[in-house]
């Protein structure tokens, strides 16, 4: 199960912004700052200044992942005040912020280091050939990979990888500092924000939020994360938001049907699934068009339409 993140941020200018978002979450939950370093081969700087609550950290900048795991660079507070932070040997996750054409290379680099078990891919429009290769690498390695086109993953009260959950105000309004019993899985980053708000206003809290991304070939699908929630021992309800395009929703419906027929592990109560599939209006539009996400399209046969996705679940 995913309980925390000790993260590397792999990328350019956007990395500092994402680190600040992670710092906001850590501070709101009373957690230690969890960004262990940046990886940026083109950066002239050796440190980047990032705040977590009232503290400012000089976060090390490395030229490569090999340098990260061979380095003895110390993690220190800015202004000369010594304070311990994440140790490189504890790193277990990475957010890859490079643009689409570099994503596959950096996934391959991350997977060379077996201690990295969680990866988020923020880039949109990754070439489909590369995306298919990432799907293959995920299945081969077993590493939890979200994206491409994902804002990340969040375990309320415990850890965050990426920008999912938004800024400080949103973290507070959605009660993301409190761990709860409701899981959330979406394709869309915007819809993940809406669902977090709705769930937070009607339930004590969430157990995990995973945005798989809206591209045609996400590294992990709805079934991957439904299986995750089925084993976490905490989740009582999962809210899943799909959309037109592909067959991930149909596969999730088939998985849940089988899941309901099986006995719960150790007599454990099974979670309830609430699923919403948006985009039924696309059935009135010309076939083959994309709408928003790269994966949001229906074929000439009607495959990939919202109605097609709803039928197996009915």
CATH number at residue 309: 3.40.50.261
DSSP state of 290: B
Q: Is residue 2 part of a domain?
A: no
Q: Is residue 294 part of a domain?
A: yes
- What digits encode the pLDDT tens for the residues 94-120? 999 999 999 999 999 999 999 999 999
Q: Contact 254/292 with Cβ under 8 angstroms?
A: no
Average pLDDT along the chain: 87
For 272, the domain range is 7-313
Q: Is residue 24 part of a domain?
A: yes
Closest CA to 213 of 159, 138, 286, 284: 138
pLDDT for res 58 = 85
Tokens coding 90: 């504890």
Q: Per-residue pLDDT for 76 more than 70?
A: no
pTM across the whole model: 0.88
Per-residue pLDDT averaged across 140-168, rounded? 97
Rounded to 10°, the helix 248-261/222-231 angle is 30
Q: Is residue 244 part of a domain?
A: yes
Compute the distance between CA of residue 10 and CA of residue 6 in angstroms, rounded to an integer: 13
pLDDT band at 70 (very low <50, low <70, confident <90, very high): confident
Q: Is residue 80 part of a domain?
A: yes
> Higher confidence at residue 307 or residue 40?
40
Q: Per-residue pLDDT for 235 more than 90?
A: yes
Q: Is residue 176 part of a domain?
A: yes
- What digits encode the pLDDT tens for the residues 16-69? 999 999 999 999 999 999 999 999 999 988 888 898 988 888 888 999 999 998
Q: Per-residue pLDDT for 282 more than 90?
A: no
pLDDT band at 244 (very low <50, low <70, confident <90, very high): confident
Q: Is residue 150 part of a domain?
A: yes
The torsion defined by the Cα of 24, 224, 261 and 258, in degrees rounded to 10, comes to: 140
Tokens coding 85: 């932070």
Q: Is residue 243 part of a domain?
A: yes
How many domains does one find in the chain?
1
pLDDT for res 111 = 98
């Amino acid at each position: 199960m995913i309980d925390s993140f000790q993260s590397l941020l792999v990328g350019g200018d956007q990395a500092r912004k994402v680190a600040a978002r992670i710092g906001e979450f850590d501070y709101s939950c009373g957690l230690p700052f969890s960004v262990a370093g940046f990886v940026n081969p083109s950066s002239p700087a050796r440190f980047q200044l990032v705040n977590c609550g009232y503290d400012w950290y000089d976060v090390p900048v490395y030229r490569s992942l090999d340098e990260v795991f061979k380095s003895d660079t110390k993690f220190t507070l800015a202004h000369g005040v010594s304070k311990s932070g994440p140790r490189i040997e504890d790193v277990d996750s990475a957010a890859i912020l490079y643009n689409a054409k570099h994503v596959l290379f950096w996934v391959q680099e991350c997977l060379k280091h077996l201690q990295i078990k969680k990866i988020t891919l923020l880039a949109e429009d990754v070439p489909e050939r590369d995306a298919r290769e990432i799907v293959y690498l995920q299945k081969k390695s077993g590493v939890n990979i979200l994206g491409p086109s994902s804002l990340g993953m969040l375990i309320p009260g415990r850890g965050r990888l990426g920008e999912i959950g938004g800024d400080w105000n949103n973290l507070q309004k959605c009660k993301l500092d409190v761990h709860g019993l409701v899981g959330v899985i979406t394709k869309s980053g915007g819809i993940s924000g809406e669902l977090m708000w709705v769930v937070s206003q009607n339930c004590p809290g969430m157990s995990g939020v995973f945005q798989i991304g809206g591209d045609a070939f996400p590294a992990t699908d709805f079934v991957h994360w439904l299986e995750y929630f089925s084993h976490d021992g905490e989740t009582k309800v999962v809210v899943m938001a799909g959309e037109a395009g592909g067959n991930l929703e149909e596969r999730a419906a088939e998985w849940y049907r089988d899941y309901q027929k099986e006995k719960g592990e150790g007599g454990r109560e099974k979670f309830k699934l609430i699923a919403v599939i948006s985009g039924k209006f696309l059935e009135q539009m010309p076939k083959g068009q994309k709408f928003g996400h790269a994966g949001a399209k229906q074929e000439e046969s009607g495959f990939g339409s919202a109605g097609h996705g709803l039928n197996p679940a009915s």
